[in-house]
Amino acid sequence: MTFSKSFPKTVKGTVYPQWEEVFLTEEEEKEVEKQAKEENITLMKECLDDAKKIFEEKELKDFQTDLVRVAIALFEKRSSHVVYWKESKCKEKFDRLNK
């Protein structure tokens, strides 16, 4: 089952929008998932580096588990969920179709 998202489309002569559902093709969905995965890996690496810097700046002992916990907390704050990327791709298609 492919990913879909509905968007409101204004209709002349009425105050109520018409909802239009946009579907991603299987290829689009896989590409978005690949991009999200690559971005999340990059973010996790940055978070590990940032956590290490925080430990060094605050002269904290470098306990590996604590470092990883800080990195995970930073990652959770920074990373986007795959659904966000898919919704964004659907919005892009919707805007392109309704120009």
Q: Establish if 11 belongs to a structural domain.
A: no
Q: Establish if 14 belongs to a structural domain.
A: no
| Structural domain boundaries, residue 35 | 24-97
Tally of domains within the chain:
1
Q: Establish if 63 belongs to a structural domain.
A: yes
Q: Establish if 57 belongs to a structural domain.
A: yes
Q: Establish if 4 belongs to a structural domain.
A: no
Q: Classify burial at 3, counting beta carbons within 10 Å of its beta carbon; exposed 0-12, middle 13-18, buried 19 or more.
A: buried
Give first-to-last CA distance, the chain, whole Å: 27
Digit-by-digit pLDDT tens for the chain (99 residues) are 789 999 999 888 999 999 999 999 999 999 998 988 888 888 888 888 988 898 888 887 767 787 788 888 877 776 666 778 888 999 999 999 887
Q: Establish if 8 belongs to a structural domain.
A: no
